[in-house]
C-alpha cells in the first residue's frame, strides 16, 4: 500500500524536500563568507531570496504555475538589486521544468519559457565574466532551452501514459456494461421461457382438470385419461422449469475449444432448447389433451439457428394453447410448416370444439409475446378469424442466407 503525506505520495514529498534542501545548501554555502574569499553579493539578504525560492519549490507539483511565478519574482528582485547570477538560481531551472511538466495547460509552460528567455538576457548582462555578454547569454540559453525541452518530452510521455490508462479504464467499464447487458438479456430470455412453460402447461392442465371433474361420474375412463394428461403435462413443465432455474442458479461453464480457438457446441442436455424436431411430440401432447391435430412439415431445413428454432417451437405451442382454450376440446387444428422465400408457420382451427366448462385464465402475453419473438428475426405475424369459422395464425420468418455461426457441423 502506497503511503501518503498531506494527500501526496510519500516518495514524491521526500524527493521535493531533497530538491529544496539542495537549493538551501547552495544558498548557505555561497552566503557564508570564508577567509580569503569575497563575500556573496547581497550577503544574507540574497540568502533570504534563495531560501524563499527553496520554500516555494516544496509546492511545485501541486501548484506549478504559482511556484514559477514566485520564483520569477524573486529572481527579478535579484536582478534589480544587481547581485548577478548566483548558485541558488538553479531553482529557476527547477521551477521552469516543473511548470512545463505539471501545469494543466502547456500555455503556462510556454509563458514560463518566454520569461526565462528574458531572464537569460538580464543574467548575462550582469554576469562577471571575461567573455562577451552574448557568449554568456548563449551559454545560459542552451542550458535553459535544454531544461525546457527535457520537461516537454517528459510531459508528453506522462500525458501519453495517462491517456493509455484512461483508455484501459474506459474499455474495462464498457466490458462491464456489456456483461451486465448480456446478463439482463439472458434473464429476460429465461423469464420469457418461464412464462411460456408455465402459461401453456397450466392452460392445458386447467382445461383437462375441468373436463375430468365434469366427466368423473358419467365417463370415468375419459376422466382418468384427462387426469393422466394433467399429470404428464405437469411433469413436463416441471422438468423444463428445472432446466431454466438451473441456468439462473449456476454460472455457465467455459466452452471447450478445439484447434485454433474453435468452440464446440454445448451439448449438455440440461442446457438444450426446444427445437422444431420436437414439434411432433408437442402435437402429440395436445392430441392427448383433446385436440384433433394434423401436422405436416415440407422442405423445412434440417438445421436452423437455435434462436429461430426455439421461436418456431414457441409460436406453435402458443397457437395450439390458444386453440385449446378458445376453440375447445375436439376442434380440428392444422399445423403446417413450409418454405417459399421464407419459413412459413401456419396454425389454424375450425372453432368447432367443445367449449370448456369454465374459461381458462389468460396466459398473460399471448399474441404480444409471439409478435415480440417474431420481430427479433424481422418476421411477420398475422392472426385473425377465418372466413369459414375458427382462427388462424401465420408467421413468416426470413431464412438465414448463410449458415448460422452457432450451428457447427460435426
Which CATH number fits the domain that encloses residue 394? 3.30.565.10
- Specify if 161 maps to a domain: no
Work out the pLDDT band at 195, boundaries 50, 70, 90: low
- Specify if 146 maps to a domain: no
Give residue for cell 483508455: 167
Q: Are residues 62 and 176 in the same domain?
A: no
397, 312 Cβ separation under 8 angstroms: yes
- Specify if 141 maps to a domain: no
Q: How many CB atoms lie within 10 A of CB 358?
A: 11
Q: Are residues 289 and 372 in the same domain?
A: yes
Q: Which of 56-60, 180-184, 227-231 has the highest mean pLDDT?
A: 56-60
Across 103-132, b (16+ Cβ under 10 Å) vs e yields beeeebbebbbebbeebbebbbebeeeeee
In whole angstroms, what is the distance from residue 189 CA to residue 341 CA? 28
378 vs 33 pLDDT, higher one: 378
Q: What is the model's pLDDT at position 69?
A: 92
Q: Are residues 118 and 200 in the same domain?
A: no
272 vs 113 pLDDT, higher one: 113
Q: Region 160-187: what's the mean pLDDT? A: 84
Q: What is the model's pLDDT at position 274?
A: 78
Least confident of 151-160, 197-206, 272-281, 379-388: 197-206
DSSP secondary structure letter of residue 242 = H
Least confident of 189-198, 218-227, 256-265: 256-265
Of the chain, the end-to-end C-alpha distance in Å amounts to 53
Distance of CA 245 to the CA centre of its chain: 26
Q: Are residues 103 and 183 in the same domain?
A: no
378 vs 186 pLDDT, higher one: 378
Work out the pLDDT band at 4, boundaries 50, 70, 90: low
Residues with Cβ within 8 Å of residue 179, at least 6 apart in sequence: none
Work out the pLDDT band at 380, boundaries 50, 70, 90: very high
Question: Which of 128, 156, 190 is where one domain is finished?
Answer: 128
Q: Are residues 124 and 179 in the same domain?
A: no
Distance of CA 18 to the CA centre of its chain: 45
Express as a percent the part of the chain with pLDDT over 90.
Answer: 17
pLDDT at 39 over 60: no
Q: What is the mean pLDDT of the chain?
A: 78
In whole angstroms, what is the distance from residue 177 CA to residue 182 CA? 9
- Specify if 143 maps to a domain: no
pLDDT at 362 over 60: no
**Owning domain of residue 378:** 171-252+268-398
In whole angstroms, what is the distance from residue 225 CA to residue 329 CA? 14
Q: Are residues 49 and 198 in the same domain?
A: no
Q: Is 259 helix (H, G, I), strand (E, B) or coil?
A: coil
Per-residue CA distances from 258 to 73, 255, 261, 262 (Å): 71, 10, 6, 5
Q: Are residues 101 and 227 in the same domain?
A: no
Q: What is the model's pLDDT at position 264?
A: 40
- Specify if 154 maps to a domain: no
Residues with Cβ within 8 Å of residue 404, at least 6 apart in sequence: 304, 305, 306, 308
Q: What is the model's pLDDT at position 66?
A: 92
- 223-241: pLDDT as tens digits: 778 788 778 777 777 776 6
pLDDT at 181 over 90: no
The 3-class SS string of 148-217 reads: HHHHHHHHHHHHHHHHHHHHHHHHHHHHHHHHHHHHHHHHHHHHHHHHHHHHHHHHHHHHHHHHHHHHCC
Question: Which of 111, 128, 145 is where one domain is finished?
Answer: 128
Q: What is the model's pLDDT at position 32?
A: 65
Residues with Cβ within 8 Å of residue 335, at least 6 apart in sequence: 279, 283, 293, 294, 295, 296, 316, 319, 320, 346, 347
99, 126 Cβ separation under 8 angstroms: no
Q: Is 8 helix (H, G, I), strand (E, B) or coil?
A: strand
- 322-353: pLDDT as tens digits: 888 888 888 999 999 999 888 999 999 998 87
Grid cell listed for 255: 466452452
- 261-281: pLDDT as tens digits: 443 444 343 445 678 888 999
In whole angstroms, what is the distance from residue 115 CA to residue 120 CA? 9
Q: Are residues 85 and 175 in the same domain?
A: no
Q: What is the model's pLDDT at position 335?
A: 94
Q: What is the model's pLDDT at position 349?
A: 92
- Specify if 160 maps to a domain: no
Q: What is the model's pLDDT at position 149?
A: 93
Q: Is 85 helix (H, G, I), strand (E, B) or coil?
A: coil
Per-residue CA distances from 309 to 204, 284, 373, 377 (Å): 23, 19, 11, 11
- Specify if 409 maps to a domain: no
pLDDT at 21 over 80: yes
Give residue for cell 494527500: 7
> How many domains is the chain built from?
2
Output Rg (C-alpha) for the chain, integer angstroms: 43
Q: Are residues 194 and 124 in the same domain?
A: no
Q: What is the model's pLDDT at position 376?
A: 78
Q: Region 200-208: what's the mean pLDDT? A: 73
Q: Region 52-81: what's the mean pLDDT? A: 88
If 0-12 CB within 10 Å is exposed, 13-18 middle and 19+ buried, where does residue 210 land? middle
In whole angstroms, what is the distance from residue 339 CA to residue 344 CA? 6
Least confident of 116-130, 145-159, 287-301, 307-321: 116-130
263 vs 68 pLDDT, higher one: 68
Q: Region 103-111: what's the mean pLDDT? A: 89
Q: Are residues 121 and 178 in the same domain?
A: no
Grid cell listed for 334: 392444422
Q: Are residues 206 and 334 in the same domain?
A: yes
Question: Which of 76, 111, 128 is where one domain is finished?
Answer: 128
Q: Region 238-264: what's the mean pLDDT? A: 52
Grid cell listed for 253: 461453464
Q: Are residues 115 and 240 in the same domain?
A: no
199, 242 Cβ separation under 8 angstroms: no
Q: Torsion angle of alpha carbons 86, 87, 93, 98, nearest 10°?
A: -120
218 vs 336 pLDDT, higher one: 336
- Specify if 350 maps to a domain: yes
pLDDT at 71 over 60: yes
Amino acid at each position: 500500500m502506497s503511503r501518503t503525506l498531506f494527500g501526496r505520495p510519500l516518495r514524491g514529498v521526500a524527493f521535493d524536500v531533497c530538491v529544496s534542501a539542495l537549493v538551501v545548501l547552495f544558498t548557505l554555502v555561497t552566503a557564508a563568507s570564508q577567509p580569503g574569499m569575497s563575500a556573496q553579493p547581497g550577503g544574507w539578504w540574497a540568502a533570504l531570496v534563495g531560501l524563499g525560492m527553496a520554500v516555494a519549490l516544496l509546492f511545485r507539483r501541486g501548484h506549478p504555475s504559482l511556484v514559477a511565478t514566485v520564483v520569477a519574482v524573486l529572481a527579478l528582485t535579484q536582478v534589480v538589486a544587481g547581485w548577478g547570477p548566483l548558485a541558488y538560481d538553479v531553482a529557476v531551472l527547477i521551477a521552469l521544468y516543473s511548470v512545463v511538466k505539471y501545469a494543466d495547460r502547456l500555455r503556462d509552460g510556454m509563458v514560463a519559457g518566454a520569461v526565462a528567455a528574458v531572464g537569460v538576457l538580464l543574467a548575462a548582462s550582469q554576469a562577471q565574466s571575461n567573455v562577451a555578454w552574448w557568449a554568456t547569454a548563449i551559454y545560459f540559453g542552451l542550458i535553459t532551452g535544454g531544461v525546457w525541452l527535457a520537461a516537454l518530452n517528459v510531459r508528453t510521455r506522462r500525458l501519453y501514459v495517462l491517456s493509455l490508462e484512461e483508455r484501459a479504464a474506459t474499455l474495462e467499464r464498457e466490458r462491464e456494461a456489456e456483461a451486465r447487458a448480456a446478463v439482463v438479456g439472458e434473464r429476460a430470455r429465461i423469464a420469457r421461457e418461464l412464462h411460456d412453460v408455465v402459461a401453456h402447461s397450466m392452460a392445458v392442465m386447467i382445461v383437462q382438470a375441468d373436463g375430468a371433474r365434469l366427466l368423473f361420474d358419467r365417463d370415468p375412463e375419459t376422466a382418468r385419461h384427462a387426469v393422466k394428461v394433467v399429470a404428464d403435462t405437469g411433469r413436463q413443465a416441471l422438468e423444463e422449469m428445472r432446466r431454466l432455474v438451473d441456468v439462473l442458479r449456476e454460472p455457465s461453464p467455459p466452452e471447450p475449444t478445439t484447434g485454433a480457438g474453435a468452440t464446440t457446441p454445448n451439448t449438455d442436455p440440461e442446457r438444450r432448447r426446444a427445437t422444431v424436431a420436437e414439434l411432433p411430440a408437442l402435437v402429440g401432447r395436445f392430441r392427448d389433451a383433446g385436440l384433433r391435430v394434423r401436422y405436416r412439415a415440407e422442405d423445412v431445413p434440417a438445421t436452423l439457428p437455435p434462436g429461430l428454432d426455439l421461436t418456431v417451437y414457441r409460436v406453435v405451442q402458443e397457437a395450439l394453447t390458444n386453440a385449446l382454450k378458445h376453440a375447445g376440446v375436439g376442434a380440428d387444428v392444422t399445423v403446417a410448416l413450409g418454405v417459399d422465400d421464407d419459413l412459413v408457420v401456419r396454425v389454424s382451427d375450425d372453432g368447432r370444439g367443445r367449449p370448456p366448462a369454465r374459461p381458462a385464465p389468460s396466459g398473460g402475453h399471448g399474441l404480444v409475446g409471439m409478435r415480440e419473438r417474431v420481430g427479433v428475426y424481422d418476421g411477420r405475424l398475422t392472426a385473425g378469424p377465418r372466413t369459414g369459422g375458427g382462427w388462424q395464425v401465420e408467421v413468416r420468418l426470413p431464412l438465414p442466407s448463410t449458415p448460422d455461426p452457432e450451428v457447427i457441423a460435426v
